Each structure stands twice: as C-alpha cells, then as structure tokens.
Amino acid sequence: MNANVSQRTALPEEDVPPDSSPGFGGKKAVLSGPVSRSNPNEQQPLRRSVSFNASQVSRNEPNEIQPGEASKKFLQQFFPGVPLSDWNNWKWQLRNSFTSLGQLSQIIALSGAEKQVLLSQGTYLPFRLTPYYASLLSDPHYGSAIRKAMIPTIHELDIADGEHSDPLNEEASSPVPHLVHRYPDRVLFLATGFCSAYCRYCTRTHMVAKEKVHFNRSWEPALQYIREHKEIRDVLISGGDPLTMPDRMLEQLLTELRAIPHVEILRIGTKVPVVLPQRITPQLTGMLKQFHPLMISIHFMHSVELTPETSEACIRLADAGMPLGSQTVLLKGINDDIDIMKKLMQGLLKIRVRPYYLYQCDPIPGSAEFRIPVQKGLEIIHGLRGFTSGYAVPHYVIDAPGGGGKIPLLPEYVQGWENGNIILKNYEGKIFFYPDAG
C-alpha cells in the first residue's frame, strides 16, 4: 500500500484521486460473459502503525473536525500511535482507506458471503471505506446497516431480470462527455468518478471508479455545452463525489460555471460529509460560499451516520449559507422500516439538513438483495406523513428505468369525487370531504 502511495504522489497531486483502489483503471463492467471487476480481495496488510511520508500529506488544517468517542476508540484500537491530528486530516483518511477485504478482515470477522468475494474474480465496483466510516461498523446496534451497504458479498454477482449497469440510461442522454441533459432547464455534471467510499447499490456503477483521475482535464466540452445552451439554469455537480476533489480543482469548476450568465443555481451532490466529514474544512466552506446560490444534496442512509463529526460537517456547510438537502435510497434490511426512517429524517433536521428525496433503489446489477417492494416504500411514507413534521417527509420517487426521470409516489390520499366533493383519507385513515371548486 505504501508503494501505491509513493507511485501516486509522483504525479501532480491535483490530478489524481488521493488513493488508488484496486478497481481503478479497470474496464467497464459488462452484463454478460466474463465481467471485468475490481478486486476487493487482495490481501494487504492493515497499516496499524501507519508509516507514510509526512511530506506527502498536506499540513493539518486549523479547526479540524473533532472526533467522537467511537472514532477515538477505533483509532486507538486499530491505528495505535497515529495522532488525532492525522485522523482529523481528510487526506490521511483517504490515504489510509480500506481498499481490500483482506485489510478489512483485520478489523472485523468476514461473513461467509463476504469471504466468498475473496475467492471470486471481483465485483462490479471496487471496495473502499475511509477509516472514519469503517469505525461505524462497530456500532453495537446499527453497524450491520453500514456493513450490508458497503461490504460486497457474493450475492452482488447475481444478476436479476431487468437489472442494468446504466439503469437510468444516462449515457443516452449525454450530449458530451461527463454531462447528462435530461430535464429541460438543468444538467448533471459528472465531475469525477472517484468516491471516498463505494456504496454497493450505486446507480452509477457504470461510470464510477473507472478512471484513475478526476475528470478535470476533459471538462471543457461539458462547460462549452452549458455555455451554448441558454435554457440551462441549474447545474448539479456530481459523479463520483465532487467533494473528493482538491479545493483548487473544485473552485476552478465552480468559477467556470458561475461565469456563465444563464446558470442561476449550482448544486453539489455528495456523500463526503457522511463518509469523510473531515473534508469539510473552513478552507472548503470559505471557498464554496463564493458561489452562492449553491445547494448541497447529501447522501444519507441511516441514523447511525448522524455522528458528532457528520453533524459538525453539516452545520459548517449550513453556516456557510448552503441550503442542505438529503437523498436516501430505500434499502432492504437497512432502512426499510418506519421507525428507522423517522429517526433518520428527524435527525437530519436537527443538523439542518432538509429531507429531500427518498429513492426506490435503482435496478443495477446485483441489486436484488437491496430492493424492496414499492408498496413497502409507500407504507413508510404513510408512516411518516402526519406522524412527524412535514419537513421530515421526503419525496418518495422512482427514477424511471430507461431515462424517464423522477416519478413521485404517494399513498392513496385521494379516494375519489362524490357530489362535488373530493373524498380524502387522512394520515389516521379517517375519511373527509372537501368541496371541490368548479
């Protein structure tokens, strides 16, 4: 692993992701025949006393996000001798991420289905966890949720009917590389393919972790497309995870986009505050707030993620003036429960994140173990609406396979019309009549 670090840092730091997981540089996954996969199975030593060249890591930044008790315990147990200031440094977190199940097996006992991945030819996505996020695996109540969402099992290789590597057909809606233009007035800008942790249910399995570098050297056609299309007033920067890019690279992109007169709002889609909260430095928030209106959509999965570190990261972003929204994927055996979902949504409001979207899991290859019946999703929404603050109720949507866009799903509150009245069912199941106009 240290050899990887020295090879990587021989290149300009701004040009490469801070670490290279085994899947980087892999070919695109295919759905039939031999699959080109990442290898989360290489046996690599866990760096208990991490020895890397300090000159390869930027200096610790002031106002570090302070670790919670779980982080401190994990650090002492698995990285003895590593100072807190390193743990609090986002680049240290990236460079010391777990990128193989062999490494991970030194901190948890792998299950049979996880061990079988060690014997397989790999998975569609590489495996990657920051040490911070790995520390949540030891949560006595909900560590299993993180485990199921982030650690590959052999079941990931079972392809069910209707599953595709690009279920939303984004490639067909991509007029130039790294840009998806599906809706009339907004575009998705895929700034990088790198994430600091790879979710096993990722919609963009078809493009994340496929190239070794961030995409900054090939952004220009996408920028030019936006300049030439005056109807585009909203740009969502996503990937991969844009907040894994260095400040200067992200600032360059935001500057280019802000210079386009018809672009009114900018958005960033990220999971970094959840898996790498140390990234949310004062330097980053100070840079981001130059580009208002700038909104942040944060990918949350479970209330176990609402740690002191993530809370601080979100509050920093909110204090810098960015409206924060959440995106959550409904996942079988992880968050498909009214109480779990309510706890997450209420917890998000406490750290100033407005629940925004609840997604039905997209049918990517191997996702059958994550997908639940839509009826269950409707029951969860029914269990939230009226039973908690309206602000805590996200929009439940299916992103239509093939590229139809987001389609909202609601329980049947409208029961019909009768004698000029609309018949309504409230959250308790009671029937009411409203005199409809006209």
In angstroms, give the least distance from the CB of 90 to ligand SF4.
Answer: 15
* 166 scored as a contact of ligand SF4 (CB under 6 A): no
> What is the chain's percent helix, strand, coil content, to nearest 5?
35, 15, 50
Site for ligand SF4 in 293-312 (CB under 6 A): 299
Instruction: Name which of 75 and 276 has its Cβ closer to ligand SF4.
Output: 276
| Contact flag: residue 366 with ligand SF4 (CB under 6 A) | no
Shorter beta-carbon distance to ligand SF4: residue 285 or 327: 327
Binding mask 205-224 for ligand SF4 (x = CB under 6 A): ---x----------------
Site stretch for ligand SF4 (CB under 6 A), options 46-54, 223-231, 237-245, 378-386: 237-245
Site for ligand SF4 contains 124 (CB under 6 A): no
- For residue 236, give the 3-state DSSP assignment: strand
183 is catalytic: yes
What one-character DSSP code corresponds to residue 155?
G
Number of residues counted as binding ligand SF4 (CB under 6 A): 11
Q: Which is nearer to ligand SF4, 257 or 275 (CB)?
A: 275
From residue 268, how far is each of 191, 237, 343, 388 by CA, in Å? 10, 5, 25, 28
Could you tell me the smallest distance in angstroms from the CB atom of residue 377 to ligand SF4?
18
Tokens representing 80 are 């003895």
Angstrom distance (rounded) from CA 65 to CA 279: 9
Tell whether residue 271 is a contact of ligand SF4 (CB under 6 A).
yes
Binding to ligand SF4 by residue 195, rule CB under 6 A? yes
The nearest distance, CB 167 to ligand SF4, in angstroms, is 13
The smaller minimum CB distance to ligand SF4, of residues 18 and 240, is found at: 240
**Residue 91 appears among annotated catalytic residues:** no
Integer Cα distance of 343 and 137 in angstroms = 19
Question: What DSSP string describes 166-184?
Answer: STT-GGGG-SSTTEEEEET
Q: In what order do the strands lie in the sheet with 414-418?
A: 414-418, 421-425, 431-435
b or e along 301-335 (b: 16 or more beta carbons within 10 Å of the residue's beta carbon)? bbbbbbbebbbbbbbbbbebebbbbbbbbbbbebb
User: Smallest Cα–Cα separation from 370: which of 208, 155, 197, 168?
Assistant: 155
Given 128, 148, 204, 316, which residue is catalytic?
A: 204
Minimal distance in Å, beta carbon 199 to ligand SF4? 3
Known catalytic residue at 199: yes
Alpha-carbon distance values, 198 to 149, 151, 208, 221 (Å): 9, 9, 9, 27
Residue of 128, 148, 186, 342 marked catalytic: 186
Q: Give the nearest distance from C-beta 42 to ligand SF4 in angstroms.
A: 20
DSSP state of 151: S
Give the binding site for ligand SF4 (CB under 6 A).
Answer: 195, 198-199, 202, 204, 208, 239-241, 271, 299
